[in-house]
Chain A
Amino acid sequence: MHRKHVVGLLTAIVVLLFMSFATHAAPIELRFLWWETPQRVESIQRLIDEYEKTHPNVKITLESIPWDEYWQKLPVMIAGGRAPDIMFMVSGNVQRYAEMNALLDLREPFVSQEVIDEMYPPHREMVTYEGKITAMPFTLTTVTPFYNKDHAAAAGIEPPTTPEEAWTWEEFKSAAAKMKQAAGTPYGVNLGTRDFWLLPYIYQNGGAVLNEDRTASAINSPEAEEALTFLQDLVVSGIAASPVDQTAGDLFTAGLLPMNIGGHWDMARFDTTITDFDYGVTFFPQRKEAGPGLGGDFIAVYSRTPYPAEAADFVVWLTSAEANAQYITENYYLSPRQGAKVAYASRQAEMDLAQKQAEMASVRLTVDRAIPAWDKFLQVMQSEFHMVMIGDKSAADGLKAIETAINKALQ
């Protein structure tokens, strides 16, 4: 062999070896920012480990931050040049971060149109910003009323098990009052604190927070006033816990509250905290229209990540039917894919009921809560709801104050 060829061959071998060594020595590192309980962190870490096995060139570091600090740290990290490559979002924040150009457009080549079509329509609308797909739905959530079976039996009440049997507002109030009396508990029900739990009463009564094109407030309406007056009546009469009583949810797990309107994901916590009684799940009380909205967790890629293809690939894998199902079943979430049949290890009947509840959800409430300006008036809206509910203010005055705050935020 010619000497020149030998030298060339050796050089090529050295370069290839070096490249191979370099690839092995320095896999791409992706930072994934997330909140959640230790159990859910374990679930997601298992999925990451699984992905890394088939993608040795990618190393994903999970950074878990408690929920309360997440929304402080994420924007500060982004502004400080330490943005994660992949991040968790909730329904209300996707559009807001998309508006601030912080989320990568995940349309083709990353996410196929087929996958986009599988999303629940309100979810699809939530992640679509100026035609771009800015996040991938990971879980679907809705409001779930829980009841203590012993308290219900003591009151001679059989909570509804089909949507057709769902309590009317009056029946719901009467059932809560009866259970309170029979169980000798301080309240009959905990209605919840935040907008996700309180707004359904307004929407199912024909009211709404925003007008049809979401450009101005529509909350100051007779329908909303009637709904808030109903909630006020429940709290002031002592049937429902005060919405500001932050210990009310714990009373249910302690067996000191007959009904708690929470979320199906609470069952992961109930599995370990409720040992003295059994609980059931029923439908949210009904009125004229669909009530609760949909929420959920979403996964997004930072728009200026140096590894958009790798980050998007992981997000697509994590939100694929197979990987997604593992997380959902372990943590009592609903599938964000239309028509998906999920087999839960336990509490299948309760999750089936929650699924039916989600299918009846208010699209308008779901999509209204996703507007970027929502958090700018959320504090005023919740505070006014609370003041009305504890009887410090009339529903009319509360709604007027909320209307002013919404219109200012939307200007």
Chain B
Amino acid sequence: MNKSAKSLSPIRGSSWLRNKQYTPIAFLAPTLVLLLTFAIIPMFWGLGLAFTEYPLLQPPRFIGLENFRRLMDDPVFWASLRNTCYYIIGTVPPRIILGFVVALLLNQAILGRNLLRAMFYFPVIAPLVSVSLLWQWMFNTHFGVINSLLRLIGLAPVPWLTSSKYALTAVMIMSVWKTIGWNMVVFLAGLQGISPSYYEAAQIDGANSWQCTRYITLPLLRPIVLLALVISTINSSKVFEQVYIMTGGGPGYSTMTLVQQVYHSAFQSYEMGYASAISLVLFAIVMVLSVIQFKYLGDRTDE
């Protein structure tokens, strides 16, 4: 029996591959090699660069904590850090809340539901560069459609992208619009995974729709909320393209974000070491936020 099984084995003469212990490694190897080459090694390389002076065309020179000391004195870094925090606070909750509300509405049997779902999802697949240019014109003080609408309802036009007071808000509005669809899809998938029997039982007990949402939908969606929250936070902390196109980080430093400053330091000043130090700070922020989110939402999910 054993002998015939052995003779049927497609991997003849390779006892290593037949060993069940190594088979998963063999299957994972291609992905692991790619991950190691393009993510893990560059990550540690970047970590090391944060402690060097590296003008890119010359070899890196170890300078210890000098880049971090310089960060403390750099007003542009503090402005970028502040803006990145504002941006995360200003975009993550609206993305989650609006995504959830839209998903709730489009989970009902309403007319044109599929068309509406496609319309809300469209901004997610639209190229970011194109929509940034479009929104740049929509926010134009004199000729933009947004100010035209404001004038129609009797409000004064707003210098959206040319005033340091409004520029970051304008970028946030565009970013929320761009990502509601993604959160909607995530929440729709979650909503459709909840058995209707819970709602039927609750309705028999006299629960209204708010109570159903509060005591059935939200608790059961907690893992989805955690996923959406972590991914939205990470994406918001990495904001770059829309800022680069719509405002270039200005006026002044009012929309300058950490990734924008990494870009400037790396590719305009050719200070790769300094750019790596800023990246490390960004990494630490995202890590801390993710840990907090897992702690407060993840633990309760396990209960």
| A interface list, Cβ under 8 A from B | 71-72, 75-76, 78-79, 96-97, 100-102, 186, 242, 244-247, 256, 375-376, 378-380, 383-384, 386-387, 390, 392-393, 401
Alpha-carbon distance between A252 and B56 when the two chains are bound, in angstroms: 40
Asked if A242 and B58 make an inter-chain contact with CB atoms under 8 angstroms apart, the answer reads no
Asked if A386 and B56 make an inter-chain contact with CB atoms under 8 angstroms apart, the answer reads no
Assuming A75-B267, A78-B56, A247-B136, what are 19 further A-B pairs, CB within 8 angstroms? A71-B267, A75-B56, A96-B270, A97-B57, A100-B55, A100-B56, A242-B162, A242-B251, A245-B162, A246-B246, A375-B269, A376-B269, A379-B269, A383-B250, A383-B252, A383-B253, A387-B252, A392-B251, A393-B252
- Least CB distance from B71 to A in Å reads 13
Asked if B268 and A71 make an inter-chain contact with CB atoms under 8 angstroms apart, the answer reads yes
Partner pick for A79 among B57, B247, B252, CB 8 A cutoff: B57
Partner pick for A244 among B57, B76, B250, CB 8 A cutoff: B250
Which residues from chain A contact B159 at a C-beta distance below 8 Å? 242
Which residues from chain A contact B267 at a C-beta distance below 8 Å? 71-72, 75
Asked if B252 and A392 make an inter-chain contact with CB atoms under 8 angstroms apart, the answer reads yes
Alpha-carbon distance between A380 and B77 when the two chains are bound, in angstroms: 11
Interface centre among B58, B248, B251 (most CB of A within 10 A): B251
Alpha-carbon distance between A390 and B163 when the two chains are bound, in angstroms: 8
Residues 175-205 of B contacting A (Cβ, < 8 Å): none
Alpha-carbon distance between A232 and B55 when the two chains are bound, in angstroms: 36
Asked if A390 and B253 make an inter-chain contact with CB atoms under 8 angstroms apart, the answer reads no
Alpha-carbon distance between A380 and B269 when the two chains are bound, in angstroms: 11
Alpha-carbon distance between A246 and B247 when the two chains are bound, in angstroms: 8
Given the known interface contacts A100-B58, A387-B252, the answer about A244 and B162 at a Cβ–Cβ threshold of 8 Å is: yes
Asked if A390 and B164 make an inter-chain contact with CB atoms under 8 angstroms apart, the answer reads yes
Asked if A390 and B75 make an inter-chain contact with CB atoms under 8 angstroms apart, the answer reads no
Q: Is B6 an interface residue (CB 8 A)?
A: no
Q: Is B169 an interface residue (CB 8 A)?
A: no
Number of interface residues of B (CB under 8 A): 33
Asked if B268 and A245 make an inter-chain contact with CB atoms under 8 angstroms apart, the answer reads no
- Least CB distance from A342 to B in Å reads 33
Alpha-carbon distance between A216 and B76 when the two chains are bound, in angstroms: 21
Q: Is B142 an interface residue (CB 8 A)?
A: yes
Asked if A380 and B162 make an inter-chain contact with CB atoms under 8 angstroms apart, the answer reads no
Asked if B270 and A75 make an inter-chain contact with CB atoms under 8 angstroms apart, the answer reads yes
Q: Is B217 an interface residue (CB 8 A)?
A: no
Asked if A387 and B57 make an inter-chain contact with CB atoms under 8 angstroms apart, the answer reads no
Asked if A387 and B164 make an inter-chain contact with CB atoms under 8 angstroms apart, the answer reads yes
Alpha-carbon distance between A289 and B41 when the two chains are bound, in angstroms: 55
Given the known interface contacts A380-B76, A390-B163, A392-B252, the answer about A79 and B264 at a Cβ–Cβ threshold of 8 Å is: no
Partner pick for B141 among A78, A79, A186, CB 8 A cutoff: A186
- Least CB distance from B175 to A in Å reads 18
Which residues from chain B contact A379 at a C-beta distance below 8 Å? 76, 264, 268-269
Residues 97-139 of B contacting A (Cβ, < 8 Å): 136-137
Which residues from chain A contact B140 at a C-beta distance below 8 Å? 247
Q: Is B273 an interface residue (CB 8 A)?
A: no
Partner pick for B252 among A76, A375, A384, CB 8 A cutoff: A384
Which residues from chain B contact A401 at a C-beta distance below 8 Å? 75
Which residues from chain B contact A186 at a C-beta distance below 8 Å? 141-142
Alpha-carbon distance between A102 and B142 when the two chains are bound, in angstroms: 46
Q: Is B161 an interface residue (CB 8 A)?
A: yes
Which residues from chain A contact B253 at a C-beta distance below 8 Å? 383
Alpha-carbon distance between A393 and B270 when the two chains are bound, in angstroms: 29
Which residues from chain A contact B270 at a C-beta distance below 8 Å? 75, 96, 375
Given the known interface contacts A245-B161, A245-B162, A247-B137, the answer about A75 and B57 at a Cβ–Cβ threshold of 8 Å is: yes
Interface centre among A79, A100, A379, A390 (most CB of B within 10 A): A379
Partner pick for B248 among A79, A101, A246, A392, CB 8 A cutoff: A246
Which residues from chain B contact A245 at a C-beta distance below 8 Å? 141, 161-162
Which residues from chain B contact A384 at a C-beta distance below 8 Å? 252
Between-chain CB contacts (< 8 Å), 6 pairs = A100-B56, A246-B247, A246-B248, A378-B268, A379-B269, A383-B253
Partner pick for B251 among A76, A100, A256, A387, CB 8 A cutoff: A387
Alpha-carbon distance between A245 and B271 when the two chains are bound, in angstroms: 28
- Least CB distance from B156 to A in Å reads 14
Residues 150-178 of B contacting A (Cβ, < 8 Å): 159, 161-164
Which residues from chain B contact A78 at a C-beta distance below 8 Å? 56-57
Specify the chain B residue showing the minimal Cβ separation from A242.
B162
Which residues from chain A contact B136 at a C-beta distance below 8 Å? 246-247
Given the known interface contacts A100-B57, A245-B162, A379-B76, the answer about A386 and B268 at a Cβ–Cβ threshold of 8 Å is: no
Interface centre among A76, A256, A383 (most CB of B within 10 A): A383
Partner pick for B162 among A375, A376, A390, CB 8 A cutoff: A390
Alpha-carbon distance between A383 and B253 when the two chains are bound, in angstroms: 7
Which residues from chain A contact B271 at a C-beta distance below 8 Å? 376
Residues 48-103 of B contacting A (Cβ, < 8 Å): 55-58, 75-76
Which residues from chain A contact B269 at a C-beta distance below 8 Å? 375-376, 379
Asked if A386 and B264 make an inter-chain contact with CB atoms under 8 angstroms apart, the answer reads no
Which residues from chain B contact A97 at a C-beta distance below 8 Å? 57
Asked if A101 and B57 make an inter-chain contact with CB atoms under 8 angstroms apart, the answer reads yes
Asked if B250 and A386 make an inter-chain contact with CB atoms under 8 angstroms apart, the answer reads yes
Given the known interface contacts A186-B141, A379-B76, A379-B268, the answer about A244 and B58 at a Cβ–Cβ threshold of 8 Å is: no
Alpha-carbon distance between A129 and B14 when the two chains are bound, in angstroms: 63
